[in-house]
A and B are shown apart, each in its own frame.
Chain A
Amino acid sequence: MQLDPLTFGFEILNFLVLLWLLHRFLYKPIRAAIALRQTTLEDALIAAQTREQSAKQKELEIDQLKANWATEKASQEKALQVQLSEEKDKALDKIRQAAAIEKVRLQTLLAQEQADHSKQARITQIENAFHLVDTFLKRLSGLDLDKALVTLFSEDLLTLSDLSKQQICDALEKQKGQLMLESAHTLGDSAIAKVTLALNTLWQKNITLTTQLDSSLISGIRVSIGALVLHANLGDELRFFKEQLAHE
């Protein structure tokens, strides 16, 4: 093979031109790009490191917050439990109070109802008793009982209080000695005389009697002197007690 020095020379020159061209138009940009990339990568690395640090910082903060939150939660839960317990106690106290009040109220009502029943039973018993007594006395009534009651009238008239005696005298004075004598049965002369004598003795003057029958007296007499009425009979006595007990 023959080497042409000129060709060789031109080859070397060509090569050098190529090198220069590569160096100018390829090598530099590539190096610049590489340098830029290098810089970019370094910046990114720094940024990442910074972010990593701040993330670590944030992580620490979050852990701290979590810890605080857990503590706060525990204390709030405890406070809530305490509050709930207090509310429960208050509500229970209220309920107990209301129950106690209701108990008192119901006990009162029960006692009232029992008292009403007792009273009703008592009234019924009294009415039955009065009915029996009424029947019994009507059976027993007669002239003998009338006489006994006239004697009672005469004796008691003279043993009355001074005030009552004065009232009777005033009534007789007002009525000018006129009075009505009612009896359950027709009285004998002796009985009428007894009554007249008793009243004359009291008044110290003579009275004038008008007689009348009234079977509702059962036995005994009733003397009416104007506004005053003197009762010595079984019928009125029973009625007095019956009325008193009915309105007790």
Chain B
Amino acid sequence: MNKLIPKLVPSNLIPIPEDYQMSLRISEQGQVISIGDGIVWIEGLPSAMLDEVIYLEDGSRALVFLLDTKKVGAILLEQRTSLASGLRAKRSGHRLDIGVGDALLGRVIDPLGRSLDGNPEPETKQRGQLEISSPAILDRDFVSKPLYTGNRIIDTQIPIGKGQRQLIIGDGGLGKSSLVIDTILRQKNEDVLCIYVSIGQTRSSIATVIDTLDRHNAMSYTTLVVSEANELTGCRYLAPFAGCAIAEAWMQRGRDTLIIYDDLSQHAQAYRELSLLLHRPPGREAYPGDIFYLHSRLLERSTVLSPDLGGGSMTALPIVETKQGEISSYIPTNLISITDGQIYLDQKLFAAGILPCIDLTRSVSRIGGKAQHPAIKKEAGRIRLDYLQFLELEAFTRFGTKLEPAMEKKLQRGQLLRKILRQDRLKPVSDLGQLTWLIAYNEQWLDNYPINDIPTMLNSLEERAENSDLSLLTPREKWLSAIKNWLVSL
């Protein structure tokens, strides 16, 4: 049995002993005393446990969320029309689980594992618990392999490794979801399974995501766990855990996975709603006191497992939405402290038309170059520093100051770099493409071309790199000669 999955054995359900004899068995049953706002209060069930699934007489299910002296508060997972007070409720003796496995690839499901894409229910052979403890310290390995997002800024300056948790933070409408969709598209042929968890989003936006992934043939390695805005609050609360359980099952079987939580601010709001309805004492901004624990226990399950446990990985890209660029509010600061870095999207850059509007000054990857290929790391070494110096210099030009030729050159190079780092949606760049533009930029071969021609040139160079027999391990001299030839022929 996998040691990462605990066993929950309630007191009245015992394994079959060898000397079994049938005898009188005592169990508990409860009675529904009130229902409302996605919460059901049940009288009885004195042995009920937290996070235990409760079956109601009409076929509905609920999850124990609050234990009181005389009653149990449970969040509804599914609600039938016949649900009414007075119905009997009985304990299941187990935590909530979901079907996991390869049968979920290409499917759109809800947090309980039910099909939402109109196809028959997925035929899964294993089940994974939504709430389990994260892997122990000695069961983990170091983050060392790169996970490419296809974005020029991220892959070169804010590199992400497999098993890392990288937060994507910014105001609404700045392109956070677009960034993660591009990351999913980049995982084609990379043997990385993707799970996109949609929490509280509108149906139209989810339909757009599904359509985009379908058009780019990304659904074959992606699973969508969807909890729409009009779902029961309990389902919105469980959605990230369901996605995590699915990813975890693959990770435990040695696969590399990428999970995207879009977005955790909606998740926090759902949890706040449930907690207030269940009369838990509110804390800062009316969130319950354990709001940090909610996200930390979720994100701690993303890691790289040691080879003894299969060597699989789960990379997490949680998204959090800020209001008016305020990253020091409660939930964003919690998530910043939990994750291994953040990618900050800036409203001002978006307004200036710089897309993706990633602010390099406030973005960081705490794993950094350790998960970057040595060839890319070497070429990308100075770029961040040069770009930041350019940003400072640019401020001076606004005063109409006359600059030295060396400074002018720096400004030109900075403007060229800014042009290079702009990228269209749905066009992820391969690792070979990244190395190509880095070398061309470092050798100053792009300096003499008109700046407006740079995007077309880069697309062409990247395409040639992908179709060549070069690899990241090819010596630099060969890269130089190849790129030179390509530039001549353009």
A interface residue numbers (CB < 8 A to B): 101-102, 104-106, 108-109, 112-113, 115-116, 119-120, 152-153, 156-157, 160, 164, 167-168, 224, 226-232, 236-237, 240-241, 243-244, 247-248
Contact = CB atoms under 8 A, between A and B. Distances in A.
A102 B97 CA distance: 31
B25 A231 contact: yes
Contacts of B46: 227
A120 B125 contact: yes
Contacts of B253: 109, 112-113
A228 B26 contact: yes
Contacts of B22: 152, 237
Given A109-B254, A247-B94, A167 B26 contact: yes
Given A164-B26, A227-B43, 15 more contacts: A101-B307, A105-B308, A108-B308, A108-B310, A120-B126, A160-B24, A224-B29, A229-B90, A230-B24, A231-B25, A231-B27, A237-B25, A243-B92, A243-B94, A244-B13
Contacts of B36: none
Contacts of A164: 26
Contact of A108 (B90, B93, B309): B309
B150 to A, nearest CB: 27
Nearest to B45: A227
B24 A157 contact: yes
B351 interface: no
Interface of B: 1-2, 7-9, 13-16, 22-31, 43-46, 90, 92-94, 97, 125-126, 252-254, 307-311
Interface of A is mostly: helix
A119 B311 CA distance: 22
A231 B43 CA distance: 20
A202 B14 CA distance: 26
Given A112-B253, A112-B310, A113-B253, A243 B13 contact: yes
A180 to B, nearest CB: 10
Given A227-B46, A243-B13, A244-B93, A105 B310 contact: yes
A176 to B, nearest CB: 16
Given A236-B25, A237-B22, A104 B307 contact: yes
A230 B12 CA distance: 12
B24 A156 contact: yes
Given A116-B125, A227-B46, A108 B25 contact: no
Contact of A112 (B2, B92, B94): B2
Given A112-B253, A116-B125, A231 B26 contact: yes
A148 to B, nearest CB: 10
A243 B22 CA distance: 17
B404 to A, nearest CB: 47
8 contacts: A102-B307, A104-B307, A105-B308, A119-B126, A160-B24, A167-B26, A228-B26, A228-B28
Q: Which of B24, B30, B94 has the most CB of A within 10 A?
A: B24
Contacts of A160: 24, 26
Contacts of B14: 244
A231 B309 contact: no
Q: Which of A102, A105, A112, A152 has the most CB of B within 10 A?
A: A105
Given A102-B307, A104-B308, A248 B7 contact: yes
Contacts of B310: 105, 108-109, 112
Nearest to B23: A156
Q: Which of B7, B23, B44 has the most CB of A within 10 A?
A: B23
A194 to B, nearest CB: 13
A135 B243 CA distance: 38
B92 A244 contact: no
A243 B93 contact: yes
Nearest to A168: B26
